[in-house]
Every structure is written in C-alpha cells, then in structure tokens.
Amino acid sequence: MNIIQSIQKESTISTSKKKGGKRGSSKDRPSSRKPPRIPTNWEQLPPDDKIERFDEMDLSDDLLDALEDMGFEKPTPIQALAIPKALEGRDLVGKAETGSGKTVAFGAPVVDRLNEHRVAVLALVLCPTRELALQVAEVFEELTTYKPLRTALIVGGEPMRDQIKELQKGCQIVVGTPGRVLDMVREKWLSLGWVEIAVLDEADEMLEIGFLDDVTEILEATPKEKQVLLFSATFPPPLMKIAEKYLKNPISMGVNKSSKAASTIEQFWMKVRAEDRPDAMIRILDQDEDAVTLAFCESRLEVERLAKRLKRLSYPVLSLHGGYDQPVRRKIMDQFRTGKIRALVATDVAARGLDISHVTRVLNYAVPRTLETYLHRIGRTGRAGAKGTALTFVSPTKQRDWDRMVAQGKLDITELETDDYLGKGWKQSEGRRERDSGRGGRERSRRPRSRERS
C-alpha cells in the first residue's frame, strides 16, 4: 500500500513487526482496515504543479478574504502541499517546524470544510502548551473573520468555569492542551462525538511532555471516521504508533527548510539582562534613526510593555499582536509598509506573512524558541539582494539555549561587547531622558545631534 506522494522517497519502518507476525493486539486498533505505513525519510521535492497563490486552491472566497486581511500574499511550501490534500479530506502526516506556516496549513482547510450551521464541536486541535494553543486559537479567530464559526480555547492554568461557559455558548472548533481537554471530556462538559477533523500540532512535543496517554484517550473519544492531520518536527516511535493506529491511508509530506540565513544578513548578538533590554533597545534605536526595525517579542504582554515604554519616550513605534481586530491590524501593517512608522514591535504570530522588503534590521528581544523561528524572523530583512542586520539579546538564563542554537545552525554570527557597542551609561536611559526633557520627550542630550520626531 503506497501512501507516499511522488514528492518524497517511499520509505517504511524497518522493524521486525513489519515483516510478518502480529502487529500487536487487535483490540488496540481498528479492525476494519490495515494500519498504514508511516515513512521516516523526508526528502522534499517541489510539487509537480507548484502552487504560487492561495486563489489557485479550492478555497472559499470568505477564506481568501481572511487570508488577505492577515497579510498573506503567497503560500509557504507546507501550505502549498498540505491545503489541497486536506481539502480533499485526506489524512496527513506533515513534517514541519515552527515558523513554517503549518498553522494555516491545517487551519485553512479545517475552516473551509466545517459547516457553520451545525452547533457541535466539529474540529479538535491539540497543542503541547497553552502558549501555542493560544497562538493557534488566534489564527482560527482570524481565519473565521468572514465565516461564523466559533473557537473555544481549552487550556490548563486558566479558570475552568470560564472555559465551560465558552463551551456552553456553542462552538465548532476547540483548541486546547491534552490535559485540560481530557478533564473536560471526563467531566462531560465537552463532547467529542461529532468531531469530523482532529489535528495534532507539534505532536512530538506533546509526547515529550508526557501527554501520550491523554492524547490516546482523547482520540478514542472521537468518532473512528474522521480526518486526522498530524504535524510534527520529529517522529519518535510512540508517535509513529499513534499515526499507525489513528490515520487512514495518510499522505506524508515534509519540507526541508534551509538551515542558513541569506548571505545579505549580518548576524550579531549581545549579552543583555532581561531587565536591561528596554534601555538597550532605546540606545539601538538612537544609533540609526533611519533604520526600519522589526522587533520580535515572545508574548502580547511583552509587546505591549515595550511599545508603551517607547511611545512614552516619543519614539515612532507601533505594536502588533493577535489581540488586535482586522481593521487595526491592516492600518498598522499599512503604516509600516509605507514607511510612516520605522519601528514595529510584534509577536511571531502577528508578524507572520509580513512581506516588507525595506526592513533593514530585525531585533530579537529574547532568544527564539527554535532555530527555525530564528531563521524565519531574521529572514524578514536582507531581501531581494538588499543588506540587513539581525541582533539578538541573550540574557544569562538563555545563554545555554542560545549556544545550542548557534551550534545547531552553524550560525555565522558575531558577539558584540555590550558596553562597547551601546556606549557607556546606556542603562537607565529612560530616567535620564525624562530628567533632561522634563517630560520624557524628544530631546536627546546624550547625543550630539537631534531631530524632531514625527
């Protein structure tokens, strides 16, 4: 049984179970069909008929409008591969990293295929962490701008009663973490008996955290006849078993992302304590007022705090995160794209799909979670042959993670001596500026030149 597309080499698991003998107890898996073979080699070749635009796919006008509002201009490789097959109702096994665009790769077909007139949980998306679940839920909220589907976020660490109220209002999509979702199922607050599509996002991380039993029990609570979309960066044996048990004749696809940044990007990093990052950011903005800066933060709260501080000091900066509605997002994007503002502070989710050729500097306010995220971020500069710079703030608590990432990616990156680069007295610049200007305003007494900010 061939489940591999022509886009990759056909491969199977080489274990003794594959060569005759029983494949475990029959009660452990559906008896109506033979479990599929899941590949372990992922060599991605371009599709025969490469899709360049979303409107080349069989997506509804409502969804195309939503994607346009979100700033997407063309599909990423995993989106071009996954969306058409998912729209056909096929089960998918996707090898995709953070930053590859996989959320839209499964989110777009989920939204397109669901019936908005049915009041039942029709789609379930499981994520390893509540932070990722929140980001995924934000994407679904944007994808459903023109289609009346409701999304409920069910995660741990938040009041259960509030989430129960959301479920009682009625929703077609549930995004959550396995632990809290299973609690809701066991307590009869959440019924999965009508689920048509189940998505496992970053499935390897869910298993690494220890959610194997929870994920299995949740999938058992869903109908046997459903579409399953599984996305993961790696495929350890326990995950392969889940895929073999619950996916029916899946199509496997993977995208080998480049592990190198463009040669036009100069990469730098410096040691900065977490509490000193705002002052470092201020000094960097002062050093080159003509630079177009895109700064990445890890959360909405971090975005809002940094942007608020910079605005208080009269810097022409705007913030962008998933909490803004579409009209506001479009206005912010237009201002940044046209050069009316020269600094944008954003989250990864909010800045996805940004295609702004004139960004001259990317600043990582904190060490990115993965190498793929890092490369995806800094790839927003140095485009079309233009030169760009990327600078990452590394706090002492993140030094080990950063060193590991640099080694993994074999990054050609230069460390900057913080005090030498920023100059003496760069810390606590906000207090000094407020004293100099009397209102935290425009005057720059520490610099020989100044100019009025627009």
- Count up the domains in the chain and report the number: 2
pLDDT of residue 393: 97
Considering only 46-50, 118-122, 153-157, 179-183, which range has the smallest mean pLDDT? 46-50
User: Quick check: 257 pLDDT over 90?
Assistant: no
For the domain that residue 288 is a member of, what is the CATH number? 3.40.50.300
Same domain, 315 and 343: yes
Q: What is the 3-state secondary structure (H, E, C) of 68-130?
A: HHCCCCCCCHHHHHHHHHHHCCCCEEEECCCCCCHHHHHHHHHHHHCCCCCCCCCEEEECCCH
Residue 14 domain-assigned?
Answer: no
**Terminal C-alpha separation, the chain:** 65
Same domain, 395 and 319: yes
Tokens of residue 169, six digits: 């209002």
- Rounded CA gap, 374 and 99, in Å? 9
pLDDT of residue 273: 94
pLDDT of residue 37: 52
**364 C-beta neighbours (distance < 10 Å), count:** 21
Residue 20 domain-assigned?
Answer: no
Per the model's pLDDT, the better-predicted residue between 446 and 367 turns out to be 367
Per the model's pLDDT, the better-predicted residue between 134 and 83 turns out to be 83
- Rounded CA gap, 450 and 295, in Å? 23
User: Quick check: 452 pLDDT over 60?
Assistant: no
Decide which of 219, 254, 289 is a domain's last residue.
Answer: 254
Decide which of 254, 275, 307 is a domain's last residue.
Answer: 254
Same domain, 62 and 97: yes
C-alpha distance from residue 316 to each of 51, 144, 151, 429, 451 (Å): 38, 32, 35, 17, 13
Percentage of residues in the chain with pLDDT exceeding 90? 49
Same domain, 250 and 194: yes
For the sheet containing 388-394, what is the strand order?
A: 317-320, 343-346, 293-296, 361-364, 388-394, 265-271, 413-415
Decide which of 204, 219, 254 is a domain's last residue.
Answer: 254
Same domain, 278 and 231: no
Give the list of residues 6+ apart from residue 305 with CB closer than 8 angstroms, or none.
Answer: none
Same domain, 300 and 339: yes
pLDDT of residue 98: 61
pLDDT of residue 428: 56
Residue 206 domain-assigned?
Answer: yes
Residue 141 domain-assigned?
Answer: yes
Average pLDDT over residues 182-205: 96
Percentage of residues in the chain with pLDDT exceeding 70? 79
- Rounded CA gap, 8 and 145, in Å? 35
Kindly report, residue by residue over 308-367, the tens digit of the pLDDT. 999 998 898 999 887 777 678 778 888 888 888 889 999 876 565 566 778 999 999 999
Nearest to 32 by CA among 252, 250, 251, 248: 248
Residue 13 domain-assigned?
Answer: no
Site of tokens 């990293």 = 97
Residue 60 domain-assigned?
Answer: yes
Same domain, 198 and 319: no
- What confidence tier does 254 reach under pLDDT thresholds 50, 70, 90? confident
- What confidence tier does 443 reach under pLDDT thresholds 50, 70, 90? very low
Same domain, 215 and 355: no
pLDDT of residue 352: 57
Residue 372 domain-assigned?
Answer: yes
pTM reported for the whole predicted model: 0.59
Domain housing 89: 32-254
- The C-alpha angle 325, 331, 337, rounded to 5 degrees, equals 130
From start to end of 310-369, where are the E strands?
317-320, 343-346, 361-364
Average pLDDT over residues 241-260: 82
**196 C-beta neighbours (distance < 10 Å), count:** 21
Average pLDDT of every residue of the chain: 81
Residue 398 domain-assigned?
Answer: yes
Same domain, 161 and 309: no
Same domain, 188 and 324: no
pLDDT of residue 373: 81
Same domain, 311 and 376: yes
Kindly report, residue by residue over 14-59, the tens digit of the pLDDT. 333 333 333 333 334 444 444 445 554 443 444 445 688 899 999 9
Same domain, 210 and 273: no
pLDDT of residue 45: 40
Q: Is the dihedral of CA 95, 173, 153, 187 positive or negative?
A: negative
pLDDT of residue 63: 95
Helix axes 130-143, 102-113, angle to 10 degrees: 50
- What confidence tier does 7 reach under pLDDT thresholds 50, 70, 90? very low
Kindly report, residue by residue over 212-241, the tens digit of the pLDDT. 999 999 999 999 999 999 998 888 888 989
pLDDT of residue 259: 61
Considering only 97-106, 119-128, 224-233, 400-409, which range has the smallest mean pLDDT? 97-106
